[in-house]
Amino acid sequence: MADALKAEGNKLFAAKDFNGAVEKFTQAIEQDPTNHVLYSNRSGAYASLKQYEKAAEDGTKCTELKPDWSKGWGRKGTALHGTGDLVGATDAFEEAVKLDPANASAKSGLQAVKRAVEAEARADGMDDPSGGLGSMFNDPKMMEKLANHPKTSAFLGDSAFMAKLNGLKTNPNAMGEAMGDPRFLQVMSVLLGIDMSFGNPGDMGAEGGATTKNGARVEEEDEEMPDLQPASKAAPAQPKKAPEPEPEPESEPVDEEALAAKKAKEEADTEKAAGTAAYKKRSFDEAIAHYTKAWDLHKDITYLTNRSAANFEKGDYDACIADCKQAIDYGREVYADFKIIAKAYGRMGSTYEKQGDLANAVEYYQRSLTEHRTPDILNKLRAAEKAKITAARNAYLSPEKAEEARELGNQKFKESDWPAAVEAYSEMIKRAPEDPRGYSNRAACLIKLLTFPSAVADCDEALARDPTFIRAYLRKAQALFAMKEYNKCLDACTAASQHDKDGKNAREIQQQSQKALSAQYEAQEGESEEQAQERIQRDPDIMRILGDPVMQSILQQAKGDPKALQDHMRNPEIAAKVQKLMAAGVIKMGR
């Protein structure tokens, strides 16, 4: 959405509909508030509308988001020139030229600001050694200004220099001789409130890194609007006398170094395009050769990330990782787009995952998300973390070690060392998680430790692995009885009875059922009819039985024929439900 709005804004800008362009760029910024190109474009549109304050705000935001981008500093310089801030405009244009010595627009803007400063200086009498400068040195606050400015505060400690400076108050014609000392130029800068020291833009810095867009595997350059012409509004002070006609600007000397860098970049991009074409044809060796040549011609992080993609598809994972590391290191040096850094980390994660190194895969997926969060890498991280846990668990499995832990648990149980027995059975569960005995045995220990809910949970785990494990049903019934969950205890006994095919556990099951029934009857002693009704209505299990249409029919039939109830109780499920109703006091026999 942001890219589409930016494209519409660019079209409107080209058609000189600057208000429409501002609107589109504003909408794009709402969609993608961290895109420095959008602020640059809107700054250009505002400057075309001569709304220089707003243009300066956007230019400043652009340089904050992308401090190594020459064009952003050029936008800021143009806007500040328009506001009349000649010192700020000079600093911005000089930074632009420093980042990109071949930036013709920034050079032109810098020269325009210089001419505006010179015109302002002439208007203040700076070109008349016997005229207006004497008043500057007679300023009563001169010493205070010099002491408060970092560039001139140290001069006050030089008595010889200060003597010369004070001499200019009475003899401004000595200015020609004084100008031989560069410190006087700094003093004049502070007293006039303008920056009169300009460097040689052709000698500043090295070429800045290219802004790139991290879309598919092979990156392309960001789209940006054409450069605007420097602001026509200079806002100098009104001259005290008509300035002399300015000479035509001399043509700049050819910057051979900049031309060579530009040619190398063009050749490198041609190699990159050839590599991309080969990559799409799955000719990975050819693609790698082209990307390598592009990197040798010109240093651009995208050449390395593209080469890593080709090595990944080729199956040369070590080379892929090496390319990604080199790309990240170089990207840090040139302050490359964090999205490309994130892509390199993400590709390293994918490569380690291919190699089965899940620990490193998780680490580099996390690093990628730290740089830039994308759904694709987030999903890969979650899958890798899950696979890592599964692999670690599977590596720990050992039937032999599980049996050793079970025997140790049995020994500790006999010694009544319940905590140690729990620890041993827990180790058994880790070594053999599908063996129900580990859960059931641990439940027995937890019952001894009076940790009944955890014991019930362990019994359920055991029964999930073996639904016929009667010992787990009985231990669950024991824990539920201790929790005074008598109806659930009866359910566990009923389930145990259903699976006790040979009747070996019938006596123990019957005893547990009777204990639960007796406990229910005792809990109801002394209840009034009203209290009994309230208790029954609070019991969801009893209310569920009473709401069963089949049970309603049976109970209606039993009212007229009590013997019919005996016949229905031959069905174990019906018998269990009737037994619960009797224990709850819903059915009262012999009364």
The helix-helix angle for 338-354 and 375-396 (nearest 10°) equals 30
Average pLDDT over residues 356-362: 92
Is 50 exceeded by the pLDDT of residue 154?
A: yes
| The predicted structure's pLDDT at residue 123 | 58
For the chain, the structural domain boundaries read 1-127, 146-196, 531-591
188 versus 202: which is more confidently predicted?
188
Could you read off the pLDDT of 244-300 as tens digits, one per residue? Answer: 444 444 444 445 677 888 888 899 999 999 999 999 999 999 999 999 999 999 989
In the predicted structure, residue 235 carries a pLDDT above the cut 50: no
pTM of the prediction?
0.39
Mean pLDDT to the nearest integer, 174-193: 70
Q: Please return the burial class of 395, using the count of CB atoms within 10 Å of its CB with bins 0-12, 13-18 and 19+.
A: exposed
pLDDT tops 70 at residue 432: yes
**Predicted pLDDT of residue 175:** 66
Specify the pLDDT at position 121: 64
Fold classified for 531-591: 434 Repressor (Amino-terminal Domain) (1.10.260)
Distance CA 489, CA 355 (A): 52
Provide mean pLDDT across the span 510-529.
81
pLDDT at 195: 52
- Give the pLDDT confidence of 481-493 residue by residue, as tens digits: 999 888 889 889 9
Band (539; pLDDT cuts 50, 70, 90): confident
- pLDDT over 90 at 243, yes or no: no
Kindly tell me if the per-residue pLDDT of 325 is higher than 80.
yes
Q: Of 141-155, 233-247, 443-457, give the lowest mean pLDDT range.
A: 233-247
Least trusted range by pLDDT, from 29-33, 232-236, 345-349 = 232-236
Secondary structure (DSSP) of 518-573: HHHHHHHTT--HHHHHHHHHH-HHHHHHHT-HHHHHHHHHHHH-HHHHHHHTTSHH
Residue 527 vs residues 157, 476, 515, 585: alpha-carbon distances, Å: 103, 29, 20, 10
Dihedrals φ, ψ of 126, to 5°? -65, -20
pLDDT digits (tens, 9 = 90+) for 35-90: 999 999 999 999 999 999 999 999 999 999 999 999 999 999 999 999 888 888 99
Looking at the predicted structure, is the pLDDT value of residue 533 above 90?
A: no
pLDDT of 556: 82
Q: Is the pLDDT score of 139 beyond 80? A: no
Which comes out higher in pLDDT, residue 224 or 163?
163
Who's near 110: CB < 8 A, 6+ residues apart? 77, 90, 93, 94, 96, 97, 198, 201
Report pLDDT for 545.
Answer: 84
pLDDT above 80 for 469: yes
Would you say how long the chain is, in residues? 591
What is the fold, at CATH topology level, of the domain defined by 1-127?
Answer: 1.25.40
The DSSP string of 28-73 is: HHHH-TT-HHHHHHHHHHHHHTT-HHHHHHHHHHHHHH-TT-HHHH
Token digits of residue 461: 């785990």
- Is the predicted pLDDT of residue 456 greater than 90, yes or no? yes
Provide the percentage of residues in the chain whose pLDDT is more than 70.
82
- Which of 97-101, 209-213, 391-395, 408-412 is the least confident region? 209-213
Asked if residue 185 has pLDDT above 80, the reply is: no
Share of the chain above pLDDT 90, in %: 46
Question: Do residues 352 and 361 touch, judged by C-beta distance below 8 A?
Answer: yes
pLDDT digits (tens, 9 = 90+) for 79-126: 999 988 888 899 999 999 999 988 888 888 888 888 887 777 665 544
If you average pLDDT over every residue of the chain, what do you get?
81
